[in-house]
Amino acid sequence: MKDIQSEFDTRGLPLDMVGITGISLPLLISGKKNSVQPVSAVISFYASLASDIKGHHMSRFVEILYENSGKRITLNRLKFITSQAKRRLDVENAYLEVSFNYFMKKKAPVTGKIGYLDYRCIVLTKVNSGDDEQVLTVEVPIMLLCPCSKAISKYNAHNQRAIAKVKVVLRKKLWIEDIITLIEKQGSCEVYPVLKRPDEKYVTEKSYENAKFVEDIVRDIANVFSQKKNIVSFSVECESQESIHNHNAFAKYISL
């Protein structure tokens, strides 16, 4: 049968990334304490393309994913999957991006009521001829209370939910749960899935006593992650969903 993809291409232009995007798969994500969490993941899978080859056989990406979909997903497994694409397609570089919502059980601060909070996660794995890289991105909801509003107001201060996003280039394993916990501690207060009246009182008062701008959040998170030895580099950003403005507030830090 004629193989169009393997035909010679005369334009002499290599392509950096060719592959599939937006494929949904059930995966089993490995967590702390030997836990496993089933997630619905959305995956993009790419490989570089040499200048003299017309195209990739896209079905090979899908085949590799299905072969591994029932297995426990760790950082090493993701690197193995990406390496399979590099080997089977005989390319210089391969890339695998997996995004999913990761759930953690949380207790309300006073009543102890239990609920689940979801956190957006993305794991990007790059495999090439000698410099593999894995990048983990985690988005965490936190609460912010405005220091300026607190300082100038007699009775109250505006507060809102914000999203703090940390992207880390990993040197060694770093658990998603640990990243989430580190970020949550830097907000004016944590966000909880279930709040009764005593909990709401606690959240309101704690955030008032711990007022922060988005600039404060980003700097505080950056200080924490700069001390982590299992990180090559990182970036931190925070976007506050302002309650009294028709815009959001934003800050970002990129480590050297």
Burial 148-177, CB ≥16 within 10 A → b, else e: eebeeeeeebebbebbbbbbbebeeebebb
| pLDDT band (50, 70, 90) for residue 129 | confident
What are the strands, taking DSSP E only, across 128-188? 133-145, 159-170
188 and 160 in contact (C-beta within 8 Å)?
no
How large is the average pLDDT for residues 107-132?
95
Identify the residue whose tokens are 């936190």.
142
Q: How many CA atoms lie within 13 A of 13 on its CB side?
A: 4
Q: What is the pLDDT of residues 15-37, one digit of tens each?
A: 999 999 999 999 999 999 999 99
CA dihedral 211, 216, 222, 223 (to 10 degrees): -70
Q: Which pLDDT value is given to residue 182?
A: 97
138 and 200 inside one domain = yes
| pLDDT band (50, 70, 90) for residue 110 | very high
Identify the residue whose tokens are 């998170």.
221
| 127 in any annotated domain | no
154 and 64 inside one domain = no
DSSP three-state, residue 169: strand
89 and 170 inside one domain = no
95 and 137 inside one domain = no
Amino acid in the structure at residue 256: L
Average pLDDT score over the chain: 95
| 48 in any annotated domain | yes
204 and 161 inside one domain = yes
Q: How many domains is the chain partitioned into structurally?
A: 2
| 93 in any annotated domain | yes
| 126 in any annotated domain | no
13 and 54 in contact (C-beta within 8 Å)?
no
Q: Which residue among 78, 99, 120 closes a domain?
A: 99
142 and 54 inside one domain = no
The CATH code of the domain that includes 170 is: 3.10.270.10
Residue 130 has pLDDT above 80, yes or no: no
Q: Which pLDDT value is given to residue 8?
A: 80
185 and 235 inside one domain = yes
127 and 79 in contact (C-beta within 8 Å)?
yes
192 and 233 inside one domain = yes
| 113 in any annotated domain | no
How large is the average pLDDT for residues 147-168?
96
| 218 in any annotated domain | yes
Amino acid in the structure at residue 94: A
Q: Which residue among 99, 119, 141 closes a domain?
A: 99
11 and 94 inside one domain = yes
168 and 236 inside one domain = yes
151 and 195 inside one domain = yes
| 117 in any annotated domain | no
Q: Which pLDDT value is given to residue 5?
A: 76
156 and 233 inside one domain = yes
Q: What is the pLDDT of residues 52-76, one digit of tens each?
A: 999 999 999 999 999 998 899 999 9
| 109 in any annotated domain | no
Q: What residue numbers bound the domain in which 1 lies?
A: 1-99
Q: Which residue among 40, 74, 99 closes a domain?
A: 99
